[in-house]
Structure 1
Amino acid sequence: MNTIQQQISQLAQECLHDDSLFIVEVQVSTNPKFRKVLVLVDGDNGVSIEVCSKISRELGGKIEEGEIIADSYTLEVSSPGVDFPLNSPRLYKKNVGRSLKLQLADGKESKGALLEADEQGILLNEEVKAAKGKKIELQERRLSYTDIQKAIVTVSFK
C-alpha cells in the first residue's frame, strides 16, 4: 500500500504537463489537527506562480477525487527557495555556475563555484586556503553525490 505522501507525489507528477518541470519534494504533515501538504516544484528554467497555481488546482481536485486525505488539509504548491538544499542531479545541473556551500559526508565544509554536474556527481571550483597567509586559491575538485551531505546555493550581494 502506498503512503499518502507517495500517492500525492504520483498525482503531482501527473499534473506536470511540461517536461522541463519536476517535483523536488512532497511533504505531508502527520498532525491530524492541521494537515498540510507541501509540494515543491521546479523547472529547468524556473517555475512561475501561475504554473504553481495551475498545478495546485489540478492536484487539489485529484486529491479530493481520490479521497486520499479524509480530513481537512491545506495544500501548498511552491518552488523551493534559494536556501533549499540541492537534493537531485537535476537541481545541481540547474545551478551550474552558481556558488555552493557544501557540508561533506566526512564532516568538513567546502565552498566554491559549481562547474559541472552529471548523474554521478559534481565538479566544484573549490575555495582553498593558500599555504601562506589568508589568500584563497581555487582548485577543481570532483565529488560524488555520496560525498555530499548537504549543498546550498549561496547568494552574494557584492
Structure 2
Amino acid sequence: MTQKIAEKTSDLAKPILDELSLELVEVAFEKEGSNWFLRVYIDKENGIDIEECGHVSEKLSEKLDELDLVSEPYFLEVSSPGVERPLRKEKDFESNIGKNIYVKLYEPIAGVKEFTGVLIDFNAGVASIRYKEKTKQKEVEIPFKKIAKARLAVTFD
C-alpha cells in the first residue's frame, strides 16, 4: 500500500514540477509512531527555496484531496532532499561528477561493500570513484546495477 501511494503521488507531482522546472527526487509514504507522513523531495540545479516548496505543497495537496488517495490522516511534507541527496538514476551520477559520494553495493568489489570518495567519472553505466584507504588514494569502478544505495556525502577534511 505505501509503495502504491508513493507511486501515485509521484504521478500527480510530475506535471506540477514540470510546470515549475523542478525535479522530483523521491516520494515516500512512511509511518512514524502513530502518524503517517507523505514526503515529497524536490530539487533544481541551484537548490530550491521555501516558497517553491510551499507552492508545490499547495498544488499537490489539492490534487491529493481531489482523488482522496490516502484514507488515513497524514502529514504532507514537501522539501529539499538536503545536502546528502540520494542518487537514484544514472543522470544523478552524471550530474554530480567531482562531488563526494557514498555508495553501498549489493555485493562486494575486492572485498569492500561501501565506498566514500569523489565521483570522478560516470560512463557507460559505470561509476568511477577515487577514495582513500589509510594513506593511499585508490580508484574503483562500480557498475550502476551493483549499487544498492548512493547519496552525496558531506566530508570534513
TM-score normalised per structure 1 = 0.78
Whether 1:29 and 2:34 are equivalent positions in the alignment is no
CA contact (8 A) 1:89 1:119 kept: no
Question: Counterpart of 2:12 in 1: which secondary structure?
Answer: helix
Answer yes or no: is 1:121 the counterpart of 2:126: yes
Mark the CA change 1:34 to 1:114 in structure 2 (over 3 Å): closer, same or farther.
same
Q: Which amino acid aligns with 1:126?
A: Y
Q: Which 4+ runs in 1 deviate beyond 3 A?
A: none
The residue aligned with 1:73 is 74
Mark the runs of 5 or more structure 2 residues left unpaired by the alignment.
none
Cα deviation for residue 30 of structure 1 reads 5.7
Asked if the contact 1:56–1:75 (Cα under 8 Å) also holds between the matched residues in 2, the reply is yes
Alpha-carbon distance in 2 for matches of 1:28, 1:136: 42
**2:87 alignment partner in structure 1:** 86
Tell me by how many angstroms 1:118 deviates. Answer: 5.1
Q: How far 1:27 sits from its partner (Å)?
A: 1.2
* 1:25-78: CA deviation from partner (whole Å, max 9, x where unpaired): 1112368x6332111112233222221111101000111122222443210001
Of Structure 1 and Structure 2, which has the larger fraction of its residues in helix?
2
Pairing of 1:34-49 with structure 2 (within 5 A): 34-49=35-50
Give the direction of change, closer, same or farther, for the CA distance of 1:25–1:57 in structure 2 (3 Å limit). same
- Report the secondary structure of 1:81's partner residue: coil
Amino acid in the other structure paired with 1:60: S
Cα contact 2:130–2:137 (8 A) shared by 1: no
Structure with greater Cα Rg = 1
Tell me which amino acid in the other structure corresponds to 2:129.
L
Q: In the alignment, what sits opposite 1:106? A: 107
Across the aligned residues of Structure 1 and Structure 2, the Cα RMSD in angstroms comes to 2.5
Match of 1:150 in 2: 149
The alignment's TM-score, normalised by the length of structure 2, stands at 0.78
C-alpha distance after superposition, 1:98-130 (max 9, x if no partner): 112322222422232112235723222233x4x
Contact 2:128 2:142 in 1 (8 A): yes
Structure 1 residues 121 and 46, CA gap change in structure 2 (3 angstroms): farther
Number of residue pairs matched? 149
2: CA distance, partners of 1:49 / 1:93: 27
Contact 1:44/1:94 (CA < 8 Å) preserved in 2? Answer: no
Q: CA deviation at 1:84?
A: 4.4
Q: Which runs of 5+ in 1 are unaligned?
A: none
Alpha-carbon distance between aligned partners in 2 of 1:119 and 1:39, rounded to the nearest angstrom: 30
